[in-house]
Amino acid sequence: MQEVKKLLDGYQRFHKKYFQEQPEIYKSLFEQGQSPKFLVISCCDSRVHPVQIMDTDSGDIFVIRNVASLVPINEVDGKSHGTSAAMEFAIKHLDVKHIIIFGHSQCGGIRSLMEGDHLGHEYGFIDPWMEIAKAAREEVVNNYADKDFDEQCVRCEKASIQISLNNLMTFPWIKERYDAGQLFVHGWYFDIDSGSLFGKQGDQFLPVQDILVSS
């Protein structure tokens, strides 16, 4: 149980900061509700916390986390779709203005995708989920066969961001707002080794600061 103490100690620091020293923050969030301007679709990876990396305050960003930061295509089939449901809430109810697909280096989901099907159904849930990004894998295998496996994984991590950006537009309530200039979409990539953050511009990933300056 010593491991859990780390979490409880953190909760105590959180409670002291926000409910004793700055109670107005959560009082406002409770009374007025949340109104984030950003929807961030990020990976479950424990090293990649959007709130921490972008140093945001409570209520600033609405975060969806799944394996490899993927957006599935729009499927209205009566089945459970967690990522799609959360996007629907963020767009229709919270009226966010920006969607950020937040990929990262050393992504285990992408590495699993690049390895191919796992015999014996070792990853009975991961393999079907990663099929969302199979076109990214095919692109890398076809165009970068001369690269080593680690480099192929990096290229697939970045290519999968475009897959998710494309899939966003299969949701009519996203595409309508995007086409009307009421919603903006971004593809970002976080390098765990260097701490650098890149944004997708055309076919390139550039430092996000450079993109903001040029826009």
Hey, CA dihedral for 88, 89, 90, 96, is it positive or negative?
Answer: positive
What pLDDT is stored for residue 214 in this prediction? 65
pLDDT(96) > 80 = yes
Q: Cα 79 vs. chain centroid, distance in angstroms?
A: 22
In 3D, which of 114, 115, 110, 102 has the Cα closest to residue 191?
102
Q: Which tokens go with 40?
A: 């961030």
Residues of the chain with CATH 3.40.1050.10: 35-214
Instruction: Grade residue 121 by pLDDT with cuts at 50, 70 and 90.
Output: low
Percent helix, strand and coil across the chain, each to the nearest 5: 55, 15, 30
Domain 35-214 in CATH 3.40.1050.10: yes
What pLDDT is stored for residue 122 in this prediction? 72
Instruction: Grade residue 117 by pLDDT with cuts at 50, 70 and 90.
Output: confident
Q: Give strand pairing partners of 103.
A: 189
Residues 41 and 101 sit within 8 Å (Cβ to Cβ): yes
pLDDT(101) > 70 = yes
For all residues of the chain together, what is the average pLDDT?
95
What are the residues whose beta carbons fall under 8 Å from the beta carbon of 2, sequence distance 6 or more?
none
What pLDDT is stored for residue 146 in this prediction? 95
More confident position, 213 or 150: 150
